[in-house]
Amino acid sequence: MYKKFNKKRIAQVVGLTLATALMAPIAQAEVSGEIGVTNDYRFRGVSQSAGDFAVQAGIDYSMESGFFVGAWGSNVDFDDPEDENGANIEVDFYAGYAGAIGEEVEYDVTLLYYTYPGDDVSQDYLEGTIGFYFADFHAAYWYTNDYGGSDLDYHYTELNYSWEFAENWSLDLHAGYNFGDAPEDDMGTYVDYSIGVSTEIAGVGLSAAWLDNNIDSEYQFDEGSFRNDSTFLVSASYAF
């Protein structure tokens, strides 16, 4: 059974993310979707919604061969007080392939295109990732040479662990390392990490997690766009 890439970054999770619990297996060609809400959209430890609630949804098509395509979206808040045309929506498109190495290791390779409709300055960019799954572990590497349309590279490595400590309850651990010209130019190289729990009740996925990072205090912000302080993240989602 192959595990498919899932663009969901609710409770990043994503932070545990928009990418980090074990993915649902592909048994046959299918269309699936998900809609959810979170009290803050965090991406690699940095808020994309200025610390406010976000509604997020995604849909994808997975083929028996292992190929998949999909789209994912969320409200965002990148507004500058002096700019009335900042981005307020993010829509991402992705395509990739999921497969297996032997009987123990599974993987996915994905290309993503991040878009921000309505923004007066283009921040759209491409990013590629490769992820590996072994037992309850998930490791991945992400790379772009044009982060946020800046023409600067961004590397991200992450390691995640999910342990089912009780029936339908799991402990979720995440650590990610941000490096490259883009983070160095902005807030420096840093690590983001989280610890949380997740479950499913009556078909609704629920999660709660504590997110933090080691960004230098000089670049720490606890309010406004791109706040990056520690936070308690809660989310709910429904898959269909």
Return all residues near 141 (Cβ < 8 A) that are at least 6 apart: 129, 130, 131, 155, 156, 157
The DSSP output letter for 23 is P
Task: Convert the pLDDT of each residue in 142-152 to its tens digit.
Answer: 999 999 999 99
Q: What is the pLDDT of residue 81?
A: 54
Domain ranges of the chain: 2-239
Closest CA to 152 of 115, 190, 178, 191: 178
- How far apart are the C-alpha atoms of 13 and 28, rounded to whole Å? 26
Contact 188, 178 (CB under 8 A): no
Is residue 98 within 8 Å of residue 4, measured between CB atoms?
Answer: yes
pTM above 0.75, yes or no: yes
Helix, strand, coil: what percent of the chain each, to 5?
Answer: 5, 55, 40
Query: Tell me, what amino acid is at 202?
Result: A
**Which residues are bridge partners to 43 per DSSP?**
46
State yes or no: pLDDT of 137 exceeds 90. Answer: yes
Residue 20: the pLDDT is 36
CA distances from 186 to 18, 119, 149, 160 (A): 21, 20, 14, 25
The 10s digit of each residue's pLDDT in 169-220 is 999 999 999 999 999 999 999 999 999 999 999 999 999 999 999 999 999 9
Q: Which of 51, 56, 43 is nearest to 16 (CA)?
A: 43
| Pairwise CA distance, residues 12 & 123, whole Å | 21
Q: Report pLDDT digits (tens) over 76-100.
A: 998 755 555 578 999 999 999 999 9
Amino acid letter, 20:
T
Please list the alpha-helical segments (H only) found in the chain. Answer: 181-186
Rg, Å, the chain Cα set: 17
**SS3 for 141-165, per residue?**
EEEECCHHHCCCCEEEEEEEEEEEE
2-239 maps to CATH 2.40.160.40: yes
Neighbours of 122 (CB within 10 A): 11
